């Protein structure tokens, strides 16, 4: 807990980009390492539902401005994907279903139940985040990347360039190209995690 003087100092330092970057990276590391170390199902559920508890805008303040190929950048993208699927399960399932014909290998990696409806999309999003805390983090990132590749192919197959509302809220590009970029970034983060250099 910070006293009044420390809070004032924190507020002044908060404007410093180096301090903001440090807070983003440290908070992401704490969230991931706490979840992975405790192996507590209740804690995992709370971490998966972090956005439900503190709001997407708070998570955006912490992590949206960090590089895509960093731990806070990866977590931001995972939570945004979950939020998109929760808000627009029909659209997400349509993008995914339409993309399966063009990205079958990615579809197998993503592991969505067939047929891919809104509830299956929600279960996948929660399963990916659960994997961050309970399983192989690199595998969870690869699975999210595969989901993005399939959804991107589905959007591209319809020539649908409109933004995904939940994705654009944090400054991430929507549409097929944005999802493809997100897939590349998440896959790169998986490689970095395996190399023990994702920070």
The whole-chain average pLDDT of the chain stands at 85
Question: What letter does residue 115 receive in the DSSP assignment?
Answer: S
Question: pTM of this prediction?
Answer: 0.83
**Range of weakest confidence among 21-35, 57-71, 162-176:** 162-176
On the question of pLDDT at 98 being above 50, the answer is yes
Q: 144-166: per-residue pLDDT in tens?
A: 999 999 999 999 998 655 444 44
At 36, which helix (H) or strand (E)? helix 17-38
**Range of weakest confidence among 10-14, 81-85, 104-108, 186-190:** 10-14
Tell me the CA distances in angstroms from 64 to 4, 52, 78, 105, 153, one per residue in order.
28, 17, 11, 29, 25
Peptide bond into 115 cis (omega under 30): yes
Specify the pLDDT at position 172: 39
Mean pLDDT, rounded, for 37-60: 90
């Amino acid at each position: 807990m910070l006293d009044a003087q420390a809070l004032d100092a924190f507020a002044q330092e908060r404007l410093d980009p180096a301090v903001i970057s440090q807070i983003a990276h440290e908070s992401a590391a704490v969230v991931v390492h706490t979840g992975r170390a405790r192996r507590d199902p209740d804690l995992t559920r709370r971490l998966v539902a972090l956005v439900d508890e503190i709001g997407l805008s708070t998570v955006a303040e912490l992590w949206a401005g960090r590089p895509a190929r960093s731990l806070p950048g990866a977590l931001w993208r995972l939570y945004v994907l979950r939020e998109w699927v929760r808000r627009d399960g029909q659209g997400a399932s349509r993008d995914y279903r339409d993309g399966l014909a063009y990205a079958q290998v990615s579809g197998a990696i993503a592991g969505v139940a067939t047929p891919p409806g809104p509830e299956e999309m929600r279960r996948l999003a929660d399963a990916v985040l659960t994997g961050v805390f309970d399983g192989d983090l690199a595998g969870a990132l690869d699975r999210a990347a595969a989901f993005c590749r399939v959804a991107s192919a589905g959007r591209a197959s319809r020539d649908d360039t409109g933004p995904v509302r939940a994705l654009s809220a944090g400054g991430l590009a929507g549409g097929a190209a944005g999802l493809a970029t997100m897939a590349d970034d998440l896959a790169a983060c998986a490689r970095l995690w395996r190399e023990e250099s994702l920070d």
